[in-house]
Amino acid sequence: MAAGRVSALGRSHQDAFTGLVVDTRNARLVVYRKPGTDFDSALARLAPGVPIDLRDAPRSIGELAATRGQVEALMGKTTGYTFVTVGDGSELSFGQGVVEVGVAGDLAQAKRDLGARFGDRVTVSAAEIPVG
């Protein structure tokens, strides 16, 4: 329930909020956000009822979504490699402020192409195309 309340608050602060992870082992929420914004004070007023571990993020959820959209616009338009996955909803994505791109084919070419176009806003790794 607390995660839902924090996520809803985050939707109204897309320039600051990046994402959250439910840490069930430690009974807390890990909230990624750009520091120095009014989101922190809004979160404090929310009082979700569970401990919150605030972590700095280099980009907001809005910025990640914009990059994801730009990457997705390239689907079917690359040579030597194919997009298999494009996502920005993991702890790696939140903490590093990157869109995770999985490709099949020429990984080195994909890293060069996407690195030149998006810089440190993406991370590229090998992925297999699902069969069936």
| Per-residue pLDDT reduced to its tens digit, 59-74 | 999 999 999 999 999 9
pTM of the predicted model, to two decimals? 0.89
How far is C-alpha 116 from the geometric centre of its chain's CA atoms? 20
In the block, tokens 């176009």 appear at 117
- Do residues 37 and 78 lie in contact, with contact meaning Cβ atoms separated by under 8 Å? no
Q: What is the mean pLDDT of the chain?
A: 93
pLDDT at 76 over 70: yes
Does residue 93 sit in helix, strand or coil? helix
DSSP 121: G
Residue 132 has pLDDT above 70, yes or no: no
Alpha-carbon distance of 59 to 64, in angstroms, equals 7
| pLDDT value for 111 | 98
Relative to beta strand 122-126, strand 99-105 is: parallel
pLDDT exceeds 90 at position 87: yes
Q: Which of 100, 94, 88 is nearest to 29 (CA)?
A: 94
